[in-house]
Structure 1
Amino acid sequence: HYYHPNVAELQGHNAAIYKTVWFNNREVSNTATSGGFLNIDTNNQASYVDATEYYYVLVDLKLLHTISGVDFQSPTSGQYPIHVRVSSSYDSSLGERAFINWPLCDSLELSVSSLTEYSFTCSSVMLGRFLVLTKSADLGFFRVDQIFVFAEECKLELNLKVFFA
Structure 2
Amino acid sequence: MNWRTFSVVTGALLILPFSAYAIDSSRSNLMEDMQPTITAHREHHKHGREPKIERLMDKLDLTTEQSQQIDAIKEEEKTQTEALREQMDVEKDKMRSLLSSDANSDQLRQQHQTIQALDQQLKDNHFETMLKMREVLTPDQRAQLSELMDQNSQRDM
Q: Shared fold by TM > 0.5?
A: no
**More helix per residue: 1 or 2?**
2
Larger Rg: 2
Richer in strand (by share)? 1
Q: TM-score, normalised by structure 2?
A: 0.25
TM-score, normalised with respect to structure 1: 0.24
Larger RCO: Structure 1 or Structure 2 (Cα < 8 Å, ≥ 6 residues apart)? Answer: 1
